[in-house]
Structure formats: C-alpha cells, structure tokens
C-alpha cells in the first residue's frame, strides 16, 4: 500500500511500539491519530492525539466520531496495539483485573475494527494490524490472563483475515517476543530478559508489512530477539 497522505489510527500510542509506529508513519507522510489513556508526546502537524480507553466501547465510539469530524479522510490503516498485563498466580488473579485485561487486549479489537472496516470496504483497500505476542503461542506461568488474551488475538485475527480479504482488506497478526517498553514497569515480581527487542525494530517490521504490494497478504509474523539473556 502507498502510505503517503493516508490516515492511520494507532492504539496505545503513548509508549513503546505504538509511539515508535506513530513516528515512523509520520515519516512516511501519513496522517496519524494516536489513541491512548496518557498523552502521546509527538508534536507534528499531521498528528492528532485523542484520549481514549480502548477497552471502553463508548469511549472508542466517541473517539472515532471525533476523527471523522476533524479529518476528511477515510481510515485505511489501523494498528490495534494497546495492551496491558498482570503477573499473578491464576487463582489469585482478581476477576476485575482479569476482565480489564480482556477489555483492553481483546474487546478493543472489536470496538476499533468495527469503526474502520466500513471505510476500508468503501476504498477496497486497508490494513488492520493486531498485536499479539509470543505469549499467544505458549502459556507462561503466573501470566495466564495475558496469555489468554494473546491466544484470543491470534484466533480473532485469522477469522478476520478470512472474512475481509475479498474486500481488499489485509489483516495481519504480529507476535513479538519481549520488547523493551514500559509494559513491564508495573508487573511486580516479573523479571524480564536483557538484550530484548527494541520497539523501533518491531515498528519497522510492521511498516514493511504495510508497504507490501496489494496482492501480498502477510497473515501472521513471529518476531524474537536472537539471544536474549536472563537477568540474575
């Protein structure tokens, strides 16, 4: 897809992969809207930030209505990147926290994708990128809620691509290994590896997928650090 002068929406835009993606897409002369609960520190004439908890359907609907009011372009790229986690034993995970993780990591894909698919069908072109994780392929002890959501993202993505490909819409699922972001900051007791992926490296790979030829459909991509080191 040729990206210049097209509109992209990135969720979880304030940090990590989302922030790196916004910066790269702006370098490609895209118009970019970032959705996040905290400010996205980008100053650029083609960037708009909207405060939004993507796990809340009403907030998502309001945000996409604002996008339509402010920007006279169809949305042709959506990056469902927002994600949260909790590190706890399965039986000790509070139900409220469990539901919140599913709201942000899984339900947001429904809320945001429903808002952009009509534009993409009209344009007969579009690309939705859903960010899963290596944790969506293999269960990790004390990380059950997060793993469950990321397994769900993979299944949802596969069903979406099969439904939408006939309309010229691509759906890709990205499975990064550990990425050096703020994700781990609030995971009490979790020790992350060193020599892990950098957010900009992952963002560059996603950008390359967005720029593929119209008949090229990358459905699932696993990305790992070559030689991560354990702390301690």
In this predicted model, what pLDDT tens digit does every residue of 67-89 receive, in sequence order? 999 999 999 999 999 999 999 99
Pick the closest to residue 222 from 178, 166, 170, 185 (CA basis): 178
Domain residues for the domain of 157 are 7-223
In a domain, 76, yes or no: yes
Catalytic machinery residues: 146
In a domain, 103, yes or no: yes
In a domain, 62, yes or no: yes
Q: Is the pLDDT of residue 118 over 90?
A: yes
Percent of the chain with pLDDT over 90: 88
Q: Is the pLDDT of residue 154 over 70?
A: yes
- Per-residue model confidence (pLDDT) at position 178: 84
In this predicted model, what pLDDT tens digit does every residue of 10-53 receive, in sequence order? 999 999 999 999 999 999 999 999 999 999 999 999 999 999 99
In a domain, 202, yes or no: yes
- Per-residue model confidence (pLDDT) at position 232: 45
Mean pLDDT of the chain: 93
First to last CA, the chain: 45
In a domain, 113, yes or no: yes
In a domain, 12, yes or no: yes
In a domain, 231, yes or no: no
C-beta contacts of 93-100 below 8 A and 24+ residues apart: 93/144, 93/145, 97/145, 98/145, 100/55
192 — pLDDT class (breaks 50, 70, 90): low
In a domain, 229, yes or no: no
Number of domains in the chain: 1
In this predicted model, what pLDDT tens digit does every residue of 212-227 receive, in sequence order? 999 999 999 999 988 7
Domain containing 106 — which CATH number?
3.40.50.720
SS3 197: strand
186 — pLDDT class (breaks 50, 70, 90): low
Pick the closest to residue 8 from 147, 166, 203 (CA basis): 203
């Amino acid at each position: 897809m040729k990206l210049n002068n097209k509109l992209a929406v990135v969720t979880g835009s304030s940090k990590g992969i989302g922030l790196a993606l916004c910066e790269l897409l702006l370098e490609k002369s895209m118009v970019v809207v970032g959705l996040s609960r905290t400010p996205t520190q980008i100053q650029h004439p083609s960037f708009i930030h909207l405060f939004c908890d993507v796990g809340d359907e009403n907030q998502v609907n309001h945000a996409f209505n604002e996008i339509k009011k402010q920007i006279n372009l169809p949305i042709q790229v959506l990056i469902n990147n927002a994600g949260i986690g909790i590190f706890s034993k399965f039986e000790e995970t509070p139900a409220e926290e469990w539901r919140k993780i599913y709201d942000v990591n899984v339900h947001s894909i429904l809320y945001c994708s429903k808002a952009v698919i009509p534009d993409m069908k009209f344009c007969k072109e579009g690309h939705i990128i859903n960010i899963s994780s290596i944790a969506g392929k293999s269960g990790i002890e004390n990380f059950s809620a997060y793993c469950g959501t990321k397994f769900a993202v993979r299944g949802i993505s596969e069903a979406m691509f099969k439904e939408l490909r006939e309309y010229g819409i691509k759906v890709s699922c990205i499975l990064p290994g550990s990425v050096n972001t703020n994700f781990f900051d609030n995971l009490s007791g979790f020790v992350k590896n060193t020599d892990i992926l950098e957010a900009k490296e992952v963002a560059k790979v996603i950008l390359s997928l967005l720029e593929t030829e119209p008949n090229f459909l990358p459905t699932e991509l696993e990305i790992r650090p070559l030689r991560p080191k354990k702390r301690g």
